[in-house]
Every structure is written in C-alpha cells, then in structure tokens.
C-alpha cells in the first residue's frame, strides 16, 4: 500500500471500519452472557441458538445505532427480547398457575417440612434443590414473570436496565420481579416434593 | 434508634427488600434488630441468600461452540475489510 496521504473520505471509511471491528469484537465477547440469558428465556436450546444468531445478525447490521460507551449487553438483550416477542409468545399465564398468598418463607418451610426438620437446615435445604429443578421451575412460570426474573436474578441487570430492555416502566419490572420470584419459589416447592 | 420491634411476619415481608437493598433505613434497622434475636428468621434469610446465589449459578448454560463459530461468520468479510 502506498503511503499517500489519504483524503478525507478514505480516512472516514477506514475509521468506520475500525469502529465496526471494535463493535463486533465487543459484541462477540458478550455472546456467552447473551446466550446465558436467552437460554433461560425460551424453552429449548434450539430456540435459544436461533434467537442469539438472529440477534447478532441484526446487531451487526445496525451496529451504528449503538452509542459507544453505553451498556452494550443491554442493547443486545433489547434486540433479543424484541425478536423473541416477534416470534409470538406462548400463553401469558399457565392456566393452573394460581398465585399463592403465601409469605416469602414458603419454600424454606416446605423444604424443612419435607426433610422432617423441626429446625430449618438452611444449607442442606438449598443443596437439595437440583440444577434441573431450577431450570424446570423457571421454564414453568409465565413469560412476563420469567423475563424479569431471568434478567435481574440471572443476568444481574439493574431494574432500570431491565425496564429499558423490556420497554416497560420500572414499576412494572419491580412488580413482575416480586411476583415472578414468588411463582418461581412456589414452583421449586412443587418440584422438590 | 427508636422503632418498634417487629414480629416474624413483618421480618418475612422485609426479606427480599433487605437482600435487594431497597429498604428504608428504618426498615433495615427493624429487620436487623429482629434477626439479631430470632434464629427462625435468621435461618430463612440465609436460605434465601444462598438460594439466590444457587439460582444464578445453576441456571447458567455456556454458549455452544458451534453457535459461537456461526456468530463469528456473521461478521461481514472478516475484520478490517471496508
């Protein structure tokens, strides 16, 4: 390549190419984290793979709409969540899902009961929950609840980021998180029985 | 700090807020004062704390290597191409 002074347009294109490469590398570095969230939002591994692949295809096409320095992981999850919605959601609520009016010690108490403990052995109780039971219980709660629980309790997003990702008010995030956690723990109590 | 001594029911209501750090100072004081003297609630707070960690860990699946390869392929013409 000649060391001729590049004109403005060539310089601009080279800069843009560098920006795109940097964007792609940063985005790909987050793929494992994006997949981790996607996998728990949908039923099957196949769905998760398709969703993540479509998300990255769209992300790479519209990379210039991302503002450098802002939360790229949230930006990607926003795309993913929208794509997931576009696919047509499953039923909003399971027909047999009656919200329990139990308190927040419910799961602990049920586990103690099942183990025949007078006094809760809190460490043993958690250990008795299998990985599968967590996955199954999550898959069983309604979509709206699961989205928030997955984003906040697994993806570790803030309420504000989750609200942006889902395009709902922050109050809705907090309400769905509270109810979603309750539903999840109820499902875990049933799984462990 | 003056405040009421709360019963276990109330301490139970404060559980998630306590762990999320969304309680008011007064509520934190109420929870901690109760927990200091209540083994029943202390065990349940610890259970929920451990449960949250466990959920985070147990729910994780790593990205399949095949998918990662396909994502790399989505990059137009490879790095650096204009």
> Inter-chain contact A156–B13, Cβ cutoff 8 Å?
no
The residue ranking higher by pLDDT, B80 or B63, is B63
Q: How large is the average pLDDT for residues A13-34?
A: 95
| DSSP one-letter string for A47-105 | HHHHHHHHHHHHHHHTGGGS-TTS-HHHHHHHHHHHHHHHT----SS-TT-PPP---TT
The residue ranking higher by pLDDT, A87 or B21, is B21
Q: How large is the average pLDDT for residues B43-71?
A: 96
How many angstroms separate the Cα of A51 from the Cα of each of A85, B54, B71?
A: 11, 26, 12
Q: How far apart are the C-alpha atoms of B39 and B25, rounded to whole Å?
A: 22
A143 with A90: CB under 8 angstroms? Answer: yes
Instruction: Round the average pLDDT of chain A to a whole number and report it.
Output: 91
Q: Is the pLDDT of residue A1 over 90?
A: no
Q: How far apart are the C-alpha atoms of B18 and A137, rounded to whole Å?
A: 24
Residues of chain B positioned with their CB less than 8 A from the CB of A52: 63, 67, 71
> Inter-chain contact B62–A49, Cβ cutoff 8 Å?
no
Structure ipTM: 0.86
Residues of chain A positioned with their CB less than 8 A from the CB of B44: 105, 108, 120, 122
| pLDDT tens sequence across A112-151 | 999 999 999 999 999 999 999 999 999 999 999 999 999 9
> Inter-chain contact A134–B60, Cβ cutoff 8 Å?
no
- Token readout for A10 is 């060539």
> Inter-chain contact B82–A35, Cβ cutoff 8 Å?
no
Residues of chain B positioned with their CB less than 8 A from the CB of A21: 79-80
Pick the residue from chain B with its C-alpha nearest to A41: B59
Band of pLDDT at residue B82, cut at 50, 70 and 90: very low
| pLDDT tens sequence across A165-185 | 999 999 999 999 999 999 999
A102 with A186: CB under 8 angstroms? Answer: yes
Put residue B75 in one of left, alpha, beta given phi > 0 → left and psi -120 to 50 → alpha: beta
Residues of chain B positioned with their CB less than 8 A from the CB of A156: 56
A31 with B64: CB under 8 angstroms? Answer: no
> Inter-chain contact A135–B55, Cβ cutoff 8 Å?
no
Q: How far apart are the C-alpha atoms of B72 and B70, rounded to whole Å?
A: 5
How many angstroms separate the Cα of A43 from the Cα of each of A53, A65, A135, A156, A172?
A: 16, 30, 10, 20, 24
Q: Give the one of B43, B59, B72 whose C-beta lies nearest to A40's C-beta.
A: B59
Percent of chain A with pLDDT over 90: 82
């Amino acid at each position: 390549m000649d060391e001729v002074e590049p004109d403005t347009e060539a310089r601009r294109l080279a800069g843009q190419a560098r920006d795109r490469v940097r964007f792609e590398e940063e985005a790909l570095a987050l793929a494992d984290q994006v997949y981790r969230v996607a996998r728990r939002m949908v039923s099957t591994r196949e769905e998760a793979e398709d969703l993540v692949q479509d998300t990255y295809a769209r992300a790479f096409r519209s990379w210039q709409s991302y503002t450098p320095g802002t939360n790229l992981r949230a930006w990607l999850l926003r795309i993913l969540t929208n794509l997931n919605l576009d696919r047509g959601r499953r039923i909003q609520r399971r027909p047999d899902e009656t919200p329990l009016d139990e308190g927040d010690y419910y799961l602990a108490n049920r586990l103690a009961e099942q183990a025949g403990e007078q006094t809760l052995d809190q460490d043993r109780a958690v250990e008795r929950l299998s990985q599968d039971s967590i996955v199954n219980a999550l898959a069983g709660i309604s979509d709206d609840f699961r989205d928030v629980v997955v984003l906040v309790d697994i993806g570790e997003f803030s309420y504000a980021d989750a609200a942006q990702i889902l395009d709902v008010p922050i109050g809705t995030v907090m309400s769905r998180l509270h109810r979603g956690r309750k539903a999840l723990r109820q499902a875990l109590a049933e799984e462990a029985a | 700090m003056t405040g009421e001594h709360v019963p276990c029911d109330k301490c139970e209501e404060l559980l998630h807020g306590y762990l999320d750090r969304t309680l008011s100072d007064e509520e934190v004081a109420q929870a901690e004062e109760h927990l200091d003297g209540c083994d029943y609630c202390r065990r349940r707070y610890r259970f929920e704390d451990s449960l949250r960690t466990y959920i985070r860990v147990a729910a994780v699946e790593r990205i399949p290597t095949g998918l990662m390869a396909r994502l790399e392929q989505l990059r137009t013409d490879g790095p650096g191409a204009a």
